Amino acid sequence: MKEYTYFSAKKLTFIDQNNETQQVPEFVTRSAKNYRFNHVTNKLEKKCIECKNYFEVQLYENGKFIDIHDEEEIHFYSEKSGYDTRCRKCKLEKASKEPNTEYQLEKTEKYQLENKLSADNIMYIRIVAAIEHMDEEQCLNYLLDLVRKTNTLTYDYKRKLN
Ligand SMILES: [Zn+2]
């Protein structure tokens, strides 16, 4: 039996121990060529686009995928978006080298943010996220927390919400 199954937009299945064809988790479809399935360990692995190392992110057991990733190795975004394009080490290196240049958002996040935020705000979030070593979601919450804790507006929330 082969050691790995590599995926692509057209190849999103693998053969399990029972010789049955199985689908990969939904998030793999967003970045299929950076995932592979290891048939020896029964683990799904994600490749860092920078250092090209693979990181074990999910274990395939009893017909299900279980998250086993280490946040110190690679960041998990969500069931929808999956795992980071870069491992944690490369992400930190990149952020420390280029604190003031454009922060690379994952395509999916960029798409989501650009539908909701102005270009100026997206740029600001990228810069703060890079400097503070956060992902965009953490950064957005961090900035809102700051505003919420320090704003001096008198504002009738209840009335406005109704
Ligand atoms: Zn890396």
Distance 48 CA to ligand 1 centre (A): 5
Which candidate, 35, 42, 33, places its Cα nearest to that of 66?
Answer: 42
CA of 111 to the centre of ligand 1 (A): 23
Q: In this predicted structure, what is the pLDDT of residue 10?
A: 93
Q: What are the boundaries of each domain within the chain?
A: 1-88, 98-162
CA of 86 to the centre of ligand 1 (A): 5
Ligand 1 centroid to Cα of residue 87, in Å, is 4
Instruction: Say if residue 144 is exposed, middle or buried (CB neighbours under 10 Å; 0-12, 13-18, 19+).
Output: exposed
- Kindly report, residue by residue over 34-78, the tens digit of the pLDDT: 999 999 999 999 999 999 999 999 999 999 999 999 999 999 999
Element (H, E) at 81: none
Q: Could you give the CA distance from residue 35 to residue 55 in angstroms, rounded to a whole number?
A: 9
Distance (Å, whole) CA 73 – CA 66: 17
Q: How far is the CA of 51 from the centre of ligand 1 (A)?
A: 4
Distance of alpha carbon 129 from alpha carbon 131, whole angstroms: 6
| Beta-ladder partners of 22 | 14
Neighbours of ion ligand 1 (CB under 5 A): 48, 50-51, 87, 90
- Return d(Cα 5, Cα 86) in angstroms, integer: 21
| Beta carbons within 8 Å of 19's beta carbon, 6+ residues apart | none
Alpha carbon of 104 to ligand 1 centroid (Å):
14
Residue 61 is predicted with a pLDDT of 95
Span from the CA of 113 to the centroid of ligand 1 (angstroms): 25
Q: Which of 56-65, 108-117, 118-127 has the highest mean pLDDT?
A: 56-65
| 70 alpha carbon – ligand 1 mean position (Å) | 14
Strands (E), the chain: 4-6, 13-15, 21-23, 35-38, 43-47, 54-61, 64-67, 74-78, 82-87
Q: How far is the CA of 84 from the centre of ligand 1 (A)?
A: 10
Sort strands 13-15 and 64-67 into parallel, antiparallel or unpaired: unpaired
Which of 70 and 102 is assigned the larger pLDDT?
70
- Determine the distance separating the centroid of ligand 1 and the alpha carbon of 123, expressed in angstroms: 24
